[in-house]
Each structure stands twice: as C-alpha cells, then as structure tokens.
Amino acid sequence: MSHLAVLSAFDAHADHIIDDDANYQWRIANRPQGNVVPDDFAWHAEPIPEPGEGEVLLRTHYLGLAPVMRFYMQGTARTGDATLGPGDVIHGRGVAQVVKSRHPDWREGEVVQGQIGWQTYKVSKMTRQEKFFRMPNNGLPAALGAGVLGMTGLSAHAGLFACGDPREGDRMVLSGAAGGVGSMVSQMATNVVGCDVVGIAGGAEKCAFIREHGCRAAIDYKADDIEAKLDELRADGIDLYFDNVGGETLEACLERLRMHARIVLCGSISEYTREEPFMLSNYTRLRATDSVMRGFFVYNHIDRWDQVMGDIAGWVADGRLKPVQDIEEGFGAMPRALANLYFGANVGVQCCSVRGEPKEWL
C-alpha cells in the first residue's frame, strides 16, 4: 500500500470535531505492525475532569509528534515506570493553558509545556515526572513550545553542543536534515558555530528546503547514490556526523571519518520498522581514526532546559534560527501526522494545532 493511500485512509479520523463539552482522547487500539494505520487508534470522549486540591486543569492548544510515539504504542518504550497498552491514552508532550488551578504554584492563564498526552484536557499535579515548564510570554508563538521551544529543540541543542562538540570549520554531514531536529541542527551548526554542513534529505523539494536552512549542499537519498555524493561533497572526509536515520547512511559516514571525528546518534528512523535489526559492520573505523560515537537520551539533559530555551529563543529573535513547524490542523489529525513522520512527509517539526494560540496569556 503506497504512502499516499495509507495517509488518505486517515482522512475519516480527521473529521472528528472537538468542543469544550468533553475531554477527547486518542487511545491505543492495536499495537502497530510496521507503520501506524487507522485501526491502531481509538477515539474516546469522557467528561472534562475537575482538579482536586494541589492540582490544575490544563486545556490543550498544541501537541508535538515524534517517532518514539509509535514505540509507546507498541509497548516497547517506557513512560515513567510503565509501558502503554491497548486502551491507554497515547503518550506525548505539548502546550496547554491552566484554566483551573487548586495548586499554590500555578495560576490560571499560565501557558505550560509538558507531558499532556493525546487528549484535549488533563488534570495534573504538575510533578517533576511530567516535566512541565512555564512558557514565557515573550512575543514568540505558543506553538513553538510543541517543538522548537520544546523537546525537539532540547534534542537538537543537546545533540549538537553537549555531544557533538562542534567547531568552526567542521566538515559536517547531517542526515534527516529536513526533519524537526535536523532543520534546527543545520541552522545552529552553520549560523551559530560556523560549520560547513552537507545535509541529506528525501526529494528535490526537501533538498531545496535544507539548502535554504543551513546546508551548503544537499544529498537526495531518494535519487542520489549517497556514497558517491559523499565522496564528491566530503572529499576530505567528515569531522562531525549528526545521525538521525541510522542504517546504511551511518555505515557510509563511518567509512569517511577524518581523524578525531565525532558522531552523534540522535535517531535511527530508517531502522524502526525493519523486521530484522540493522547490523553495523564497520564500527572499527572509530578506532582507526581516534573518533568518538556518542548517543544521548534527551531527558538526561533536561536540567539544562532554561539555558537551552534561552539560547534558542535568542537565536530565533536575532534571525540565526528560523523555526520550521509542520502543523496539522485539528486534534483529529493526530494519527495521520504520526504516520507522516515514518513516510518522511513532514518538513520541520511535526505538530498538531488543537485549539491554536491562547487568547489571553499570563
């Protein structure tokens, strides 16, 4: 079944309309086999909950999407101390406004970014486990909290700066360059650090996009021979490779490392739906070049939240970072938006607008 046929199968889901008369949710119906399909999702409505003592009621405005959400649905990724199963609300972060508060530290009207789940309301005790952060009303759209000023931004910043040790003049390669993390890393590496970035993306439109967002040159993995293009565009080798896809692309970049190169393992989306795991055959290139390959988990960097969000907001304000968010309209579009990620149909951070911008924001 083609990706267009699969995406069109979600159109009936997108007809679901929400109002402020209930809490609408997307729950797991079936564990996905390969990419998600409509039958993997269950639409549910229940009464809007009331906050108890020490709790707040949150009204959802935006939700972000990430490939890991499919792993939550499969039960292969933990959410706190448990895994999800059929009947559970799908896990995810987004932007919400406090509409009722019985919590001494949170006021009605504040806008927050945190663990909301795929639902239009949530009652929360605002615990550390849910990792809620206030969003400053600094003139930037609240929508950015679902990606650029959210976990996607933290992933891009932590992966590049805390793990990649980027240096001015680095000969850099970036896979997944048109995605949420990639579209930020390319701009930060070029405009903030001064790296020379070759990006990898799928299709002529995406390659044109990444050349406008931080990449000096682009490799089209759908049309080009990646290894031949790497030999052409990185003839002197690679100082820094930021990996969002894994698989054969990671293997090709390992073959072309310069001495003391760095590889950042951010994601491996090309491997997520394979029936057999990919076996990396040439990791010994790290030894031959005295290089470092380092993975990271974004929640291990959450103690740097304030500094990272300050950096990113500053770069957005001064023009060094142009935020790119691919926003699906309507809560009913959430399943389709998740499928988009696995077909590479999104450009920038994949998000969903549930209610749009808050009208009054403290």
Residue-wise pLDDT tens digits, 54-102: 999 999 999 999 888 988 898 887 666 568 999 999 999 999 999 999 9
Q: Taking all residues of the chain, what is their mean pLDDT, rounded to a whole number?
A: 93
Asked whether the predicted pLDDT for residue 6 surpasses 70, the reply is no
* Residue-level length of the chain: 362
Integer Cα distance of 70 and 76 in angstroms: 9
Asked whether the predicted pLDDT for residue 5 surpasses 70, the reply is no
Q: Percentage of the chain with pLDDT > 70? A: 96
Q: What average pLDDT score do residues 339-346 get?
A: 84
Asked whether the predicted pLDDT for residue 298 surpasses 80, the reply is yes
Write down the pTM of the prediction.
0.91
Instruction: Using alpha carbons only, give the angle 219, 296, 301 rounded to the nearest 5 degrees.
Output: 120
153, two tokens: 């931004």
Instruction: Please tell me the least confidently modeled range out of 10-19, 57-66, 117-126, 239-248.
Output: 10-19
130 Cβ neighbours under 8 A, 6+ residues apart: 114, 115, 124
Instruction: Please tell me the least confidently modeled range out of 20-29, 117-126, 337-346.
Output: 337-346
115-169 pLDDT, tens digit per residue, is 999 999 999 999 877 889 999 888 999 999 999 999 999 999 999 999 999 999 9
More confident residue, 49 or 74: 49
80, two tokens: 């706190």
pLDDT of residue 260: 98
pLDDT of residue 4: 62
The pLDDT-based confidence of 1 (bands split at 50, 70, 90) is low
How many C-beta atoms lie closer than 10 Å to residue 82's C-beta?
Answer: 9
pLDDT of residue 13: 65
Amino acid at residue number 297: F
pLDDT of residue 126: 93
Asked whether the predicted pLDDT for residue 305 surpasses 80, the reply is yes
pLDDT of residue 102: 98
Q: Between the CA of residue 321 and those of 43, 69, 214, 278, 304, what are the distances in Å?
A: 37, 26, 9, 34, 19
pLDDT of residue 33: 87
47, two tokens: 């009464």
The pLDDT-based confidence of 2 (bands split at 50, 70, 90) is low
Which of 68, 66, 12 is closest to 37 using CA atoms?
Answer: 12
Asked whether the predicted pLDDT for residue 316 surpasses 90, the reply is yes
181-222 pLDDT, tens digit per residue, is 999 999 999 999 999 999 999 999 999 999 999 999 999 999
pLDDT of residue 346: 86
Greatest pairwise CA separation for the chain in angstroms: 63
Q: Percentage of the chain with pLDDT > 90? A: 78
